[in-house]
Structure 1
């Protein structure tokens, strides 16, 4: 039963994220540097052959990460403020406006699932006319954050609630998919015919979310994953291997 175990530690500078905003010409999109990040994790791969023709493979991945403190900040403009200027803020363009610098280094890293798991089993039958393979697999990925921000302490409770709502809308929950494939291969000619099914359980899941309810666009968008899908394929290999 072969197995492989790896550990990783990654440093990234000026991690980039896509930002959508409204400019003078309408809706625009640009890349923003989100500071420096440290990512660490471990992965394990196992392959087993419990009986002739059967191969089971499994892999798992654990990841975590964070921005380095002080490398990812944002300046928020707050209007209608009276009284003393709060700590971490500066006077703005007028007497009731302040500019507050917010440290965003405690936010989750964008598109970093903390857990991933895959298991696949393939049974191969050697026939007089060719090779028949039956495969079933399951793949799981944990939740991911596609948008994350934080309100300045000086913001009102209503604005803080808006930030919390956008953060929630910017996250997708984890999901697992079951797939299957049956193939038949002959050597002369070197042809393989297969049928496959993806998302056999017809799981409803999201692959991405974009939230901008309160800042500029006033919308929240989500992208659904592929529903149950069936297909037929053929592979013809020719020439020298």
Structure 2
């Protein structure tokens, strides 16, 4: 019967073993087209970095968050809980209290993060080579300072908190430098060349790209509940709202070049 035992062990190993060729899930990342160039070094207006680190909850806050019946990710609420402390003592054994902390946007769940590489036109460079007898090499030069602003697509309570959560999620999903406000300085140049043929006019259009972030934000009334030595978070009257936002991609410019025989 030894051979039957060997066959049984082999079959069990085949059934429970993970498929050898199974691919691991890969992280999604937005692919940048060749027509989109980074101008971080060339930008005459130095934009401030919008890297928003995840706010680390304190041990007390972390314990509280685990008791919540709804997931809490709002950095401002986490910061407030970090600054809260409740001492345990023998006298608190009979304590019963429910403290209202307000209505908060608790978390944001992303459903789509998609780029629009021509979100807003910021510049047009033009050259008339109809009288020339050779090709003309054209370059991008930003003629005037341009402020590009994004924002939420609808009015929503506590918009600043929601924007912060959406920005964090969009940066995580796209791996791109995002900001609700970005500036392209006057005189910004890029060395990339565009050939304007003789007897033609050349038009070089520059656009500020942006990410369209869509998802759902969850609101709720937050209470800090004290029961003797126990501390808990209770969320009541939970509601969810669909929301979208346009978030500019910082220090990137998308270019479109065309030539024609007649002025446009």
Computing the radius of gyration over CA atoms, which structure comes out larger, 1 or 2? Answer: 2
Q: Higher strand share goes to which structure? A: 1
Greater fraction helix? 2
TM over 0.5: no
Higher relative contact order (CA 8 A, sep 6+): 2
